[in-house]
Amino acid sequence: MRTIVSLPGDGIGRVVLDETIRVLNAAGFKAEYVEGDIGWEFWKKEGEALPQRTIDLLEKHKIALFGAITSKPKDEAFEELAPEFKEKGLIYASPIVKLRQHFNLDICARPCKSYDGNPLNFIRRAADGSVEEPPVDVVIFRQNTEGLYGGVEWTNPSEQVHDAFMTHPRFVKNFGSTPKEDVSISTRIFTRKATERIVRAAFEHAKNYGYKSVTVAEKPNVIRETSGMMYKMAQQMQAADYPEIELWNTNIDAQMMWLTKNPETYGVIVAGNMFGDIISDGFAGLIGGLGFACSAQMNPETGVAVFEPTHGSAPKYADYDTSIVNPIAMVESACMMLDHIDEKVIAAKIRKAVAKVIKDSKVQTYDMKKVPGKPDVIEKGAASTQQMADAIIAEL
């Protein structure tokens, strides 16, 4: 039997994960779950949001289902720390970023596929004035460890750093006369290895799941070095290994416009860390938003992979007696896990059950009802988190 590390985290993380495990059990997925500690509580109590014992668990079992965590700004984080750790001057670091870095989970995949009958689906006016609902089926491959989120940044950089920048003629021309105290710099570093891995993952996915195109959504005409490297690599890879797949090149800004004009045109999209983050939220908005947006973070070399909804811990709903949040994003993330560990039949079974529940539109969480999230939504006919899971289980 397989062992899955369950990482509920904070807030609504636990309820969506518990309900998802119920769905997995009902679908016949045989596994044992071991819980790993992660999140705000452990920061407060132990001064570490991702304790070593959790890293060890994942090291051993490799596959994790993750709910969500709470993060707060530096000062607030320090304020809530147990007194004995305050003296040590600990600084809060996001456990998700730490997980990504420790296990080099550099491949992030975020599928955005619309379900028939989801009232949250994007609709558009057709030429004849009628309303059309374009089917969206896009998978975004986001480089997960480098680029603008790589953390190499300065405000008032040291002389040494400033001197290095002064060797670049553009820096001299545009920023050379600004006192260095008035300069903040964030870098966008791409390495060949990580870029190759994300582009390869995108093509492999297109090939394995029958998508006809891979789109590089960057800005190679302006960000020539990093975006340029990714696009050039994609061109070479396509020519050498994937001639049957079309390679498209869009600029990130134009892509954000095209996404509401013709979202049905796109298949697999690949981008660096920040642009991938932005595009995946954009497409998620077309298929129902945070209640539906799932993701995987993987290291193809070691096989370590973490599957999670893209939403956060939604603190304002965390303490409801009856939870009202939509568990589908977490259930979909678990389906990605099943695909990953070659339990594709069970994954397909669960997706079919989810599709049926959505299409029948009898059981809908508050977001699908388009009402503000308040405790009274259940009285008003919205399904609770548990009722949504029950409906999926009933279809199974």
The β-bridge relationship of strands 107-113 and 153-155 is unpaired
Indicate which single residue of 93, 101, 373, 396 sits in contact with ligand NAI (rule: CB under 6 A).
373
Asked whether position 382 contacts ligand NAI by CB under 6 A, the answer is no
Distance of closest approach, residue 9 Cβ to ligand NAI, in angstroms:
6
The β-bridge relationship of strands 305-309 and 63-68 is parallel
Residue 175 has a CB neighbour count (10 Å cut-off) of: 16
Indicate which single residue of 64, 99, 294, 325 sits in contact with ligand NAI (rule: CB under 6 A).
325
Contact between 131 and 119 under an 8 Å Cβ cutoff? The reply is no
Question: What tokens appear for 376 in the block?
Answer: 């009274």
Residue 359 has a CB neighbour count (10 Å cut-off) of: 12
List of residues contacting Mg ion (CB under 5 A):
277
> 138 has which bridge partners?
112
| Rounded Cα gap, residues 390 and 396, in angstroms | 10
206 binds, among ligand NAI, Mg ion, none (CB under 5 to 8 A by kind): none
Residues near 215 by beta carbon (within 8 Å), at least 6 away in sequence: 247, 248, 249, 250, 255, 266, 267, 268, 269, 270
Phi first, then psi, for residue 33 (nearest 5°) are -110, 130
What string of DSSP letters covers 42-103?
HHHHHS-SS-HHHHHHHHHH-EEEEEE-----HHHHHHHS-HHHHTTT-----HHHHHHHHT
315 binds, among Mg ion, ligand NAI, none (CB under 5 to 8 A by kind): ligand NAI
How many residues at the interface with ligand NAI, by CB under 6 A?
20
Asked whether position 117 contacts ligand NAI by CB under 6 A, the answer is no
The 333-352 site mask, x for binding ligand NAI (CB under 6 A), equals --------------------
Closest CB to ligand NAI among residues 229, 305: 305
Closest CB to ligand NAI among residues 227, 364: 364
Distance of closest approach, residue 71 Cβ to ligand NAI, in angstroms:
3
301-320 positions binding ligand NAI, by CB under 6 A = 308, 311-316
Asked whether position 297 contacts ligand NAI by CB under 6 A, the answer is no
| Rounded Cα gap, residues 215 and 205, in angstroms | 13
Distance of closest approach, residue 34 Cβ to ligand NAI, in angstroms:
20
Indicate which single residue of 77, 96, 107, 331 sits in contact with ligand NAI (rule: CB under 6 A).
96
Cα angle 11, 12, 17 (rounded to 5 degrees) comes to 125
Asked whether position 60 contacts ligand NAI by CB under 6 A, the answer is no
277 binds, among ligand NAI, Mg ion, none (CB under 5 to 8 A by kind): Mg ion
The 150-189 site mask, x for binding ligand NAI (CB under 6 A), equals ----------------------------------------
The β-bridge relationship of strands 184-186 and 107-113 is unpaired
Binding site for ligand NAI (CB under 6 A): 16, 68-71, 96, 290-291, 308, 311-316, 325-326, 329, 367, 373
